[in-house]
Every structure is written in structure tokens, then in C-alpha cells.
Amino acid sequence: MPDGRRLVLVVGPSGAGKDSVIRGVQAALRGQADVVFPRRVITRPHDATGGEDHEPCDPAAFERRAAAGDFALHWQANGLRYGVPAGIDRDLAAGRAVVVNVSRAIIADAEARYPGLQVCVITAPPSVLAARLRARGRESAADIDARLGRADAFAVAARHVRTISNDGALEDSVRALVAVIAASSRDGQTIRI
């Protein structure tokens, strides 16, 4: 099993801009085969309105796949199931960095499997989170209030944690996440943007 030093788990409260930062990093690192961004499997239909590119999966099939070991990591959040394909183990064993958005609830389990992993918390002030959640139009006012309540209590316990405040220019947050990915390299490999 890879030690996970090149595994970067991105976490943060809803509205922090995790997906936007990850997309920015993907664009900045396009063509660099040593950094991969696995496509998550999620029990929701594919969203053609600009949401995350994921592999849709119905709940029964997801459970079968989880039982068969198809996922390196999987969890349930907000009424959905999420899975990170087991193929990340091959990427990590080959020395590639793996960057994926996960739930903070799985960090302890992930550290047990990948003890050297890096956690990158992307956050923003409550007023910014609220504005972003309202702007994306996916949740009701009550859902937004619940997400903001969870954001107030957002804490991450992990061995290796870096925090990015995504309340300024997106490019600054992208550069900061690229730096986290570069720091995860144990062999001095250069990550260029």
C-alpha cells in the first residue's frame, strides 16, 4: 500500500470554492502527467449546469462497488454517497500526486490507509460562504443555514494540514494549492504552473 505522501485531500465548508480551486489547478497543471485528479463516483445524476464532472452511479450499484473494493475511499454526505476510485493506489505507487475533494469525516480512515497524506483546507469567511451558496442556487434558505452552521464548526484533525483562505483572487488560491501539491513530493519533483 502506498504511504500516501503524494495524496492531497482537499476539504472545506460548502461555498469555500473547493471545486473552483481544483479546476484552476487542473488548468494550471494541464499536461503534467505526474499530477492526477480522479473523477469521483457520486450517487447523483450528471449535472449539465456546470457542476462537478463526476461518474453518476445509482445507490444500489454504488453499494455493490464499495463491497467489491472498487473505491480507495468512500463516504456519505448530504444524502449522497461518494467514492474515490481504487486506481489512485496505482497512481500513488507510480509516484504521481493525487488531488481529490473529500469529506473531512473520512480523514481519520484515510490517514489509517495512507499515513503520509496531506490535507488542504480551503475556507472563506462566513459572509463569503453565504453569498456563494446563495449564488449557486442549489439549496433552499434552510439548507444554506444548515451548511453555514456546519461551517462554523468546521475543524480538521490530521497530521499534515495546510489551510488556504479562498477569499481573494482565485489565482492566489490556485497558486497556494499548487504549492501544497509540490510540497507533497518526496522526491524533489518540480511542479510547474
pLDDT value, residue 188: 42
Specify if 86 maps to a domain.
Answer: yes
Specify if 59 maps to a domain.
Answer: yes
Specify if 154 maps to a domain.
Answer: yes
Domain containing 162 — which CATH number?
Answer: 3.40.50.300
Total domain count, the chain = 1
**In the predicted structure, residue 81 carries a pLDDT above the cut 90:** yes
pLDDT value, residue 153: 67
User: Residues within the annotated binding site?
Assistant: 12-19
Residue with cell 449564488: 135
Specify if 192 maps to a domain.
Answer: no
Specify if 193 maps to a domain.
Answer: no
Specify if 177 maps to a domain.
Answer: yes
Mean pLDDT on 53-66: 93
- In this prediction, residue 190 has a pLDDT band, given cuts at 50, 70 and 90, of very low
Specify if 152 maps to a domain.
Answer: yes
Q: Which domain holds residue 175?
A: 7-183
pTM to 2 decimals? 0.86
DSSP 8-state secondary structure symbol assigned to residue 122: E
Q: Tens digit of pLDDT for each residue in 160-178?
A: 889 999 999 999 999 999 9
Determine the Cα–Cα distance for residues 66 and 64; give it in Å rounded to an integer. 5
Is residue 183 within 8 Å of 118, Cβ to Cβ? yes
User: Residues within the annotated binding site for ATP?
Assistant: 12-19
Specify if 174 maps to a domain.
Answer: yes
Average pLDDT, the chain: 86
Is residue 18 within 8 Å of 122, Cβ to Cβ? yes
- In this prediction, residue 3 has a pLDDT band, given cuts at 50, 70 and 90, of low
Mean pLDDT on 19-48: 89
